[in-house]
Structure 1
Amino acid sequence: MYALLLAALSLAGPANAPVVEPAPVPPPTAVMALPPELRERMREAVLATPASPAERLARLLHFMLDEDALAIVYDEDATYSVADTYAARRANCLSFTLLFVAMAREAGLDAQPQEIENTLSWRQEANTIYRNNHINARVHIQGRRLTVDTSGDTVIAVDRPVAIDDRRLIAHYYNNLAMARMAHGEIDSAMQLMDAALALEPAYAPLWSNAGVLQVRAGYLAAAGRAYDKALALDPKEDGALFNMIGLAHRLGDNRREAAFRDRLSRVQRRDPLHQFMLGMDAERNGDYRQAIASYRRAIHLYPGEHRFHSALARAYLKAGDARRAGKALRRAQAHSEGEVRAAYRAQLRELKRSSN
């Protein structure tokens, strides 16, 4: 998955790591700068002969992905500048977007980054949970808006992509680096990077939530509380900050505030289809198919157009022994899908019909 780290949600004490001199924060202008060698190779591959904007886009994508060219491959941990992505030939969704947008503009294309805030993608390492959003790019060609996204159908999203400017994109880059440095116990370096991110995007609530996590890691609990307060002032529904506030209040022994923030988070999650879907998956894994069905139905009520919600409901019904409702849910999954996915649902329906006869 082409994931972008946004919120380190759990609370932990300061890491017991040796003191490391913080690496300098790369200036914003350096993050998207094309190395001279890459610029020359790109121009030869994309601009050597006259071509329409659509043809230039196709050439650029071939140049980025083909085995006899850059052959960029996905690496979730590869938060790199354009120059570093070129050197490593590895990228996550953020690095890929940085590289694509920089080269597309060099090729005379109207390219812009965009983000999808609410996606189903998270991971846990040690005592830290990382929730992700997703970054891709849009290109305007002859009145059409095209999306360049290497994730395919792997990202479940309930928000439409929204165009962002380069400041937000580079703030995400600094944030990702900060989270990586935090994971390695380099707290001072991480805090410098987070300061750089906030300098670019001071009104973006998830950055303040992450800044609070760093303050906790450094042992500054009062400063962490102020950062979470700032995040919630900017966005009262910022679930990362609410989650972190619960942990901070618990750590400080403030039962009243802990209960209040638990209630707020519960109300936000009740209206979050992705959270309901995750509850359904957890219940299904535990064999509680009744609860799984209820959670999947809640997710569908909140966001009926996601075929994977209907597919999961069909699976839960089937495990609960209700083939009729499973078939009905599969038909709805098929109706909300297309291409190979739609064909796969059609095959599942045929198999279900055969097994039910």
Structure 2
Amino acid sequence: MKRFAVLLSFSLSLSLLSGCTSMQPPAAPPLFADARFAPPREKVGADDLFTLSPAMRAYLHSQPFTLQLRQQGQRHGLVAALYSKSDLKLEYESSKTRTAAETYADRSGNCLSLVIMTAAFAKELGMPVRYRSVDVDDTWSRTAGLYLASAHVNISLGNRVESGVRSSDQDAMLLVDFIPQKEAARLRARELDEEDIVALYLNNRAAEMLVQDRIDDAYWWARAAVEKRPGMIRALNTLGVIYEKHGDMQLAEQTYRAALEREPENMAVMRNLQPVLATLGKRDEAAALARRIASIEPFPPYHHFDKGMIALRAGKYDTARELFELEVKRAPYNDEFRFWLGVSHLQLGDLTHAREQIAKAVDTSTRQEMRQVYSAKLAHLRRVGAVGTHIR
């Protein structure tokens, strides 16, 4: 199967942090091919990304919300109100990147959506906000033949700036991040402009259209992302994947090369470019790039997992377990790896570890439908309680 690596931005503990220097990427060359794609089936853009809905405004003026702000202060009160388990009851769900209003209405969203909604409320309350991209290893998932790499984005909130009052450093920014406080403090980060957040939203929507095989719609979303931030590697890579899936190999090559000019060691882009070069007859260059990729990352995402699935189907359960354990070690929050590690334990008659791993799959899954699947399997295991049960 052809591997398409698409780079996404998801990701929101509380800690005090100062910002980092913003870095504006250089512009990319013109890479658009509008005439090759049908018009989009929906509105493409981010004009209403941070717009508060009437329901959100009503919530801002509700008695419970205003009481929370009075008791805890604006910043802590806002975070407590938005992310408490007893009030909005927001649920993490990664299948779609939502606007602020959509996240509030659905009571769910991925981390980028939650950052956007938090920013919308904070700005309405007069708080300065800062966005940051955090240097953590990309989290890989696989959907509809696409390998999706999710990066980490968070938001920090300043105190409301009163008229005529000056603050030296905005009294330190309150960071809202899903990473635990001690870990977040150790990680390097760079500050993002709001335009970067908008471009990341547009790029995510393009990737989500790709997952649904809506290539024409994906093009217009990716085009908007590149237009918003011409030098953004993630957007250029997504546009290259779209051209490749559309059969426009020369445009795909040009777009991947434009991305590599800005980040020569980007593994996702290199992996996408290599088969395009082979398809275009540039076999020596493709072979050289393949050797370079192998020297940097000999075992790509899902390498051990795919071998583990082959072993599992062949009844080699010990081998399968060992291979799944290798993937879990390097990607502990991948629910798919956890689930199938649990299955291998089950086939070996180890019901205790099977339950443990499938429970972790439930906890780490970012998609509601998969949490339901894993939960059903886990409930079945807890009912059965018998050695040797097979999951089918």
TM-score range, shorter chain: 0.5 to 0.7
- Cα gap change, 1:127 to 1:276, in 2 (>3 Å): closer
Once residues 76 and 108 of structure 1 are traced to their aligned partners in structure 2, the CA distance between those partners, rounded to angstroms, is 29
Q: CA deviation at 1:29?
A: 2.9
- Cα gap change, 1:278 to 1:219, in 2 (>3 Å): closer
**Paired residue for 1:349?**
none
Once residues 132 and 49 of structure 1 are traced to their aligned partners in structure 2, the CA distance between those partners, rounded to angstroms, is 33
Once residues 29 and 263 of structure 1 are traced to their aligned partners in structure 2, the CA distance between those partners, rounded to angstroms, is 44
**Paired residue for 1:258?**
286
- Cα gap change, 1:210 to 1:127, in 2 (>3 Å): same
Q: Structure 2: where are the runs of 5+ without partners?
A: 1-5, 10-37, 160-169, 309-317, 331-392
Q: How does 1:282-293 map to 2 (within 5 A)?
A: none
Once residues 77 and 287 of structure 1 are traced to their aligned partners in structure 2, the CA distance between those partners, rounded to angstroms, is 28
**Paired residue for 2:88?**
70
Q: Which amino acid aligns with 2:150?
A: N
Alignment partner of 1:207 is 2:235: yes
- Which stretch has the larger CA shift, 163-172 or 30-39? 30-39
TM-score by length of 2: 0.60
Contact preservation (8 Å) 1:179, 1:190:
yes
**Paired residue for 2:361?**
none
Q: Structure 1: where are the runs of 5+ without partners?
A: 9-18, 300-357
Identity %: 21
2:112 aligns with one of 94, 99, 109: 94
Contact preservation (8 Å) 1:171, 1:197:
yes
**Paired residue for 1:216?**
244
**Paired residue for 2:44?**
25
Higher relative contact order (CA 8 A, sep 6+): 2
Q: CA deviation at 1:128?
A: 1.4
Q: How does 1:35-74 map to 2 (within 5 A)?
A: 35-44=53-62, 45-47=64-66, 51=70, 55-74=73-92
Once residues 207 and 300 of structure 2 are traced to their aligned partners in structure 1, the CA distance between those partners, rounded to angstroms, is 27
Once residues 39 and 88 of structure 1 are traced to their aligned partners in structure 2, the CA distance between those partners, rounded to angstroms, is 16
Q: How does 1:219-258 map to 2 (within 5 A)?
A: 219-258=247-286
Q: How does 1:281-320 map to 2 (within 5 A)?
A: none
- Cα gap change, 1:240 to 1:51, in 2 (>3 Å): same
Once residues 244 and 139 of structure 1 are traced to their aligned partners in structure 2, the CA distance between those partners, rounded to angstroms, is 38
Give the SS at the match of 1:69.
coil
Q: CA deviation at 1:25?
A: 0.7
Q: Which amino acid aligns with 2:110?
A: N
Once residues 68 and 285 of structure 2 are traced to their aligned partners in structure 1, the CA distance between those partners, rounded to angstroms, is 65
Q: CA deviation at 1:56?
A: 1.3
2:224 aligns with one of 196, 200, 220: 196
Please give the per-residue CA displacement for 1:41-72, whole angstroms capped at 9, x wherever unaligned.
124354468749x6212221232123443221
Q: CA deviation at 1:38?
A: 0.5
Give the SS at the match of 2:290.
helix
Give the SS at the match of 1:130.
strand
The structure in which a higher percent of residues are helix is 1
Once residues 301 and 291 of structure 2 are traced to their aligned partners in structure 1, the CA distance between those partners, rounded to angstroms, is 20
- Cα gap change, 1:50 to 1:237, in 2 (>3 Å): closer
**Paired residue for 1:137?**
155
**Paired residue for 1:114?**
132
Q: CA deviation at 1:90?
A: 0.6
Contact preservation (8 Å) 1:94, 1:135:
yes
Once residues 184 and 238 of structure 1 are traced to their aligned partners in structure 2, the CA distance between those partners, rounded to angstroms, is 25
Give the count of matched residue pairs: 272
**Paired residue for 2:348?**
none
Contact preservation (8 Å) 2:51, 2:101:
yes
Q: Which amino acid aligns with 1:215?
A: Y
TM-score by length of 1: 0.66
Contact preservation (8 Å) 1:242, 1:264:
no
- Cα gap change, 1:268 to 1:102, in 2 (>3 Å): farther
